[in-house]
Structures are given as structure tokens and as C-alpha cells.
Amino acid sequence: MMIRIALQSKGRLNEDSLALLAEAGIGIEPSKRKLLSRSDDFPIEILYLRDDDIPHAVERGVADIGIVGLNEYEERQCGAAIVHRLGFGKCRLSLAIPKGESYAGPAYFAGKRIATSYPVILRKFLTEKQIEAEIEEIAGSVEIAPAVGLADAIFDIVSSGGTLVSNGLKEVETAMHSEAVLIATPGLAAEKQALLDQLLFRIESVERSRG
Ligand code: PRT
Ligand code: ZN
């Protein structure tokens, strides 16, 4: 019996995810070209995927568990269960507008075009605020959308805020805070649940030792 975990194959969560497993005593050979690899230290198999694909893979049981940003989990309306917040990959999803604009509150966005890769989360935020705006879904380079006339504002991931500043934008509303989360297929078989419990126990001791 083995448990399969989906990790981001490259990108911002890859290194911290592997470092967490390593500190939990689960070493994995660094050959990332392999899509699937095994650990000699624990009955676990690592499936490397794009972060976008992780929520669905875990929901369907292609992987039993996975590590993904809460933002991706929410955007994909994922039916997997969140079993643990991991405390790395912290960021927020915010609305930003050209820095010269004056801003008095969310009503600013009424009738505006907002570019984002997170239409589901943005739609929910706008509905809660009772604002009607147009959502321009784009896959990348969201922060240049206002400068090139594709949108009036953006809704995107922010961590330091440096990217906004260098694109002449300012952050005006935060819709959600995100961090990496450990997710699991609902209704795991008992043996797999036992392995997940062991893994969680190890992760929690790593967290205690990190302080
Ligand atoms: O290839 P794949 O599809 O797997 O990766 P990806 O390119 O879609 O995602 P990736 O690796 O960029 O991010 C993975 C996850 O890391 C995100 O889903 C978030 O949960 C988390 N995360 C944490 C971030 C950031 N911090 C972050 N700063 N994701 C993206 N950014 C971007 C931000 O949008 C900005 O463009 O990094 C840039 C720098 O941000 P500032 O504010 O520090 O300038
Ligand atoms: Zn992605």
C-alpha cells in the first residue's frame, strides 16, 4: 500500500513542498524530469503536475493527496478536502488600479473591466459587494492589462507588491489570503488514511521544530 501525493512540478510551491517532505524524513531523488517518483523512506509516490491540475487530480483520486495554493483550490471549486494549512506560499488576491486614480471604495469598480486569471473568486467577491463589473479572463501577464487598454483594473496574486508598483498600479482591495494547503481525496481508503495520518504527524512535528 502506498499513498500518492501531487506536487507542483516547478514554480513557487515546488521547492517548499519538497523541503517540507525532506524535513519530515521523506527524501525524493531530485530527478524532476520523471513525472512520477518514489521515496525510499516512506510508502509515498510523488506525481508532479502543474498547479492548475492538482485540485482536479486530487478530487478524482488520481492522486490521494496534494499540495496546492488555496487560491487554486478555491478557483477550481475543488471538491477535495483541505486537511492542513502549510504556512508557505503566502500571498493575497487583490484588486489593483492605475496609481493615479482616486479610490473611495469598491463602488469604483461598477461598470469597469477587470482582467484576471481568477474569474470565479473575483465574481464571488463582486457579488458579495453587489458590484456589476466586466471580467476579462486572461491566462497571464495580467498586470500589463491596464497599460495596454485591455482592462481598467486587475485582480491578481500579490505578495511583496513590487510587481504592481513596477506596472504603475496600486492595490485597493484584498479579496482573499492564500497559502499552500494539503488536500485529500474525500473518503480515502482506511490504509491510505492511516498513511496520511502518519504523514500529518510528521508534518506537525516539523512545524513544531521550526517554531
Ligand atoms: O507552472 P504552473 O502552472 O504549475 O505554475 P504557475 O505559474 O501557475 O504558478 P506559480 O508557480 O507562479 O505560483 C504557484 C502558487 O504560488 C500560486 O498559485 C500562489 O498560491 C503562490 N504564490 C505565492 C504566488 C506568489 N506568492 C506570487 N507572488 N504566485 C504568484 N505570485 C506572482 C504575483 O502574481 C506577481 O506577478 O509573483 C509575482 C511577484 O509578486 P510580488 O507581489 O512579490 O511582486
Ligand atoms: Zn498554474
Output the DSSP codes for 18-80.
Answer: HHHHHHTT--B---TTSSEEEBSSSSEEEEEE-GGGHHHHHHTTSSSEEEEEHHHHHHTT--S
pLDDT higher than 90, residue 98: yes
pLDDT at 31 over 70: no
Query: Relative to the CA of 52, which ligand 1 atom is closest?
Result: 3
Ligand 1 binding site (Cβ under 6 Å of any ligand atom):
8, 11-13, 50-52, 69, 71-72, 89, 91, 156-163, 178
| CA 157 to ligand 1 centroid distance, Å | 7
What's the chain's average pLDDT? 96
- In the prediction, which pLDDT does 74 show? 98
- Residue 94, classed as helix, strand or coil, is strand
Give the pLDDT band of residue 29 (cuts 50, 70, 90): confident
Q: 119: CA distance to ligand 2 center in Å?
A: 14
Which one has a higher pLDDT value, 168 or 33?
168
pLDDT at 196: 98
